[in-house]
Structure 1
Amino acid sequence: MMKKWHIMLVLSLFLSLMTGGLASAHVTVLPKETTQGSYEKFAVRVPTEKDVPTVKVEVKFPLDAVSISRFEPKPGWSYELTKDDNGKITGVIWTATGEGLGPTEFGEFYMQGKVADNATAIQWKAYQTYKDGSVVEWVGAEGSDKPASVTKVNAKPAGAATDSHGHTAPAANAGKADSAAAPSASGEPAAGAPAASGAPLYLSIAALILGALSFVVSLSRRKR
């Protein structure tokens, strides 16, 4: 008869993979990479991980790495800005005017700004408030239970120049620039496409593990 520890091993692997997938569903800011001195459109992706709705989201900006100045209106939500004594925007608070983001939902909040010329990374501290009053602080280091989202900032291409609007011009003989960083025909920077979700990968892995589990159980029954 098939040993019980074989079945337990498959179950443990399955649970480990599923738990890892859930743990990664935290507040993130996309894109995950950008370029020094560029204008960028950022998407704050917020999943609800409790049985009650998310009703407020606050994000604080590291002023030494990025300067956020524009916000896209989101139906069902209002926003207010926090500023320092000099009037510089230091953060934004989105508050639901309706039911918020339900237990099986997620939302994206868009904002635009300029990446600092000498930035190497942008660490976004986010605070997620639920309808029951609980607050989840996404401010930890990478690898922690509640990590802050980090956008890697790449150096400008060698010889690249920045115009008066903050647009980075490609260096001579440089390769084709990333279309996400190029300005649009209206003179405004094009928005970078958010990174693809990892959900299909997790579903594929789960299907594979379930198939293996069924096979093990089938063998166990045949040998009884």
Structure 2
Amino acid sequence: MILKKTSWTSKLTSSLAAGAAALMLFAGFASAHVTVNPTVAQTGAWQTYSIKIPSEKELPTTKVTLKVPQGVAFKQYQPLAGWKITTEKNDSNEVTSITWEVDGDNEGILAGQFQQFNFVAQNPDAETEVAWDAFQYYSDGSIVEWTGGPSDSNPHSITAISQDPAATGNAAAGGGHDSAGTAGNAGHDDDTATGDGTKANDDTTLGDALDDTVTGEPNNTNSDPGTLKLQQATLIVSILALIMSFLGIALATRRKKR
């Protein structure tokens, strides 16, 4: 009897541990995407963008390179203590990429943390979608390339450039558009739309964008529909794992009584 009890307890403990490990692994992958916000922006506007980088490994992220999409005119970046920021230009003196790299005693973006970098760029005049390819470097020399399509495991973030960003954002929130795991922003970014949901002034200036950059305020990075969807998916999996655990306990108890 003692041997049977020990065997039953061991099996139950192993099952629960395996389920918990799988759940934690899924939750880590579900929230680890590199994103650029806002996901909907005004045509021709000077826009404050934020790139949000979480660490998906048990290693620090020490460098991030972001490719500037064709048609987007990079203007300025926000300095950040502990990070060396450099840009690359083409033959036309246009910035094609921006890199943030640890500087001084900065260890980088540690496991369980995220970092946000802000910069200003001018959007294309015509409606389009721009893809932000990003490269995440870890302390062991490994690189994660966020350059895939929406269905890939490492998708790039996409911003919809629209003449009516408020309408585009609402359509995205309704499920009409979901790019790179971050659907269009249902909220109205200060640089693209007014508080009442009407289209923002087309004469948005560099000064307006820089005001936002200086304060370092994020562009709704914690409330975009893509993040909410990931949180909901994680919650559903957590509930299912809990149900499976209870079923496992009930089944083990029934077998023990036999």
The TM-score with structure 1 as length reference comes to 0.73
Q: Which runs of 4+ in 1 moved over 4 A?
A: 14-18, 167-170, 178-184
Find 2:246's aligned residue among 195, 212, 215: 215
**Residue 79 of structure 2: aligned partner:** 73
**Residue 105 of structure 1: aligned partner:** 113
Deviation at 1:211, TM superposition (A): 3.0
Provide the rounded CA distance (Å) in 1 between the counterparts of 2:26 and 2:97.
Answer: 32
Deviation at 1:17, TM superposition (A): 9.5
Contact 1:40 1:181 in 2 (8 A): no
Q: How does 1:1-224 map to 2 (within 5 A)?
A: 15=22, 19=26, 22-23=29-30, 25-64=32-71, 66-97=72-103, 98-156=106-164, 176-177=197-198, 188-189=208-209, 191=212, 192-196=219-223, 197-198=227-228, 200-224=231-255
Q: Which protein is richer in strand relative to its size?
A: 1
RMSD, matched Cα: 3.5
Deviation at 1:48, TM superposition (A): 1.2
- Give unmatched runs, 5+ long, in structure 2: 1-14, 166-190, 213-218
The TM-score with structure 2 as length reference comes to 0.65
Deviation at 1:51, TM superposition (A): 2.1
Provide the rounded CA distance (Å) in 2 between the counterparts of 1:211 and 1:80.
Answer: 47
- Give unmatched runs, 5+ long, in structure 1: 1-7, 158-166
The higher relative CO (CA closer than 8 Å, separation ≥ 6) is in 1
**Which SS does the other structure have where 1:103 is aligned?**
coil
**Which SS does the other structure have where 1:188 is aligned?**
helix
Deviation at 1:21, TM superposition (A): 5.8
**Which SS does the other structure have where 1:150 is aligned?**
strand
**Which SS does the other structure have where 2:247 is aligned?**
helix
**Which SS does the other structure have where 2:26 is aligned?**
helix
Residues 168 and 126 of structure 1, relative CA distance in 2, 3 Å threshold: closer
Residues 168 and 41 of structure 1, relative CA distance in 2, 3 Å threshold: closer
Code of the aligned partner of 1:95? E
Identity %: 28
- After superposing the two structures, state which structure 1 stretch, 199-208 or 24-33, moved more: 199-208
